[in-house]
Amino acid sequence: MVHVQSEEEIKSSEIRMQRLKERVIFKSLIIDTIFWIPSLILAGMSGSVTLSTEAIKKGNEILSTFFAWLALKKMSQGGAHAYDYGMGKFENMTGIVTGIVMILSLVLVFGLTVLKLLNPHMLHEEVTIVAMIVMFTGICVSTILWREKVHIAKMEYSPVIEAQITLFKTKAITEFVVLAALLLVLFIEDNPWEDYIDPIASFIVIGSFLLSGYRTISSSLPDLLDKTIEEELQLVVVRSLADFFDEYEAFHGVRSRKCGNDIFIELFLEFDGNRQMDDVQKTIYAIKASLEREIHRSSVTIMPCTGKFGTKKQDIEEIEPIEE
């Protein structure tokens, strides 16, 4: 027998997941801050534009992670009663902020890189070796934190966690690029190209962050602007309407949107005017329960309506059945 979770169990599960996400983000914030301090010192001592780029990047990562933690903290503190559709938009806004911070930081980084290209100079070997050790440690830590967030994302979709996954995946890749550039500089001493490896690596870091910033914004913006749900979920709605084909007279429209990881669906159906109100209400409850069971974390509202404009039952009937 399938166990159906009660409303209290669902609420308790959501609170536990929210606290888990908050703890993971806070841990990332602390670790990032610890690694940022030696990055700043090494960047200043080595004269490497790549290390300077990495230090600026880490500072922006800390800022983005701090915004993510604030958003989750705000949501866990409550106050949802003041928002009829919940506080999920805080998560979407965090993704936008993360992307914007990533892109804006590139302006400063680009200026430093161009300056280094125009005025190339040798790196301090001893400091560079220490920086390589810090970079290697950072790659290991970033990979662990990235995998931890991927695990949480598999448990439940969250715009905040998705933005953090993109951030830490890019972070691990760029740290590897920085490490490779520093290794290359050490192994090809007295080569005419030596002075240009550092700024070229910095340009690679700039490109990766520009792409990641764009992806983060483009993935969060549609939900923030109330884009309709994915096509596969729309097909679930159509299938549910087809299952209750004989229970309503006409279909007048559907509106849907996401708010964080919650989904809101509104259906406009016309019913036979000769039916009793309690009978119509039973049908509404049945359709609502069917959809909310099929679509995780959905809230369905069915509005009885009339009007000569709308999709008739024949339109629903003509839609090809979905193959299982």
**pLDDT given for residue 186 in this prediction:** 73
How many whole angstroms separate alpha carbon 47 and alpha carbon 12? 52
How many alpha carbons lie under 13 Å from residue 315 in its C-beta half-sphere?
10
Side by side, the strands of the sheet bearing 311-312 are 298-304, 262-270, 250-259, 311-312
Q: How many helices (H) does the chain have, and how many strands (E)?
A: 9, 4
Q: What is the pLDDT of residues 214-253, one digit of tens each?
A: 877 887 788 788 888 888 888 888 888 888 888 888 888 8
Residue 77: the pLDDT is: 64
State which fold the 7-224 domain adopts.
Alpha-lytic protease prodomain-like (1.20.1510)
pTM exceeds cut of 0.75: no
Q: How far is residue 152 from each of residues 23, 122, 149, 283, 310, measured CA to CA in Å?
A: 12, 44, 5, 37, 42
pLDDT for residue 122: 59
Q: Please give the single-letter amino acid code of residue 49.
A: V
CA gap 247, 279 in Å, rounded: 10
Show the tokens assigned to 215. 């992806």
The domain 231-318 is placed in CATH, from the list 3.40.50.720, 3.30.70.1350, 3.60.110.10, 3.10.180.10, at 3.30.70.1350
pLDDT at position 263, please?
87
Confidence band for 209, pLDDT divided at 50, 70 and 90: confident
25-36 mean pLDDT: 85
Q: How confident is the model at residue 309 (pLDDT cuts 50, 70, 90)?
A: very low
The residue extents of the domains of the chain are 7-224, 231-318
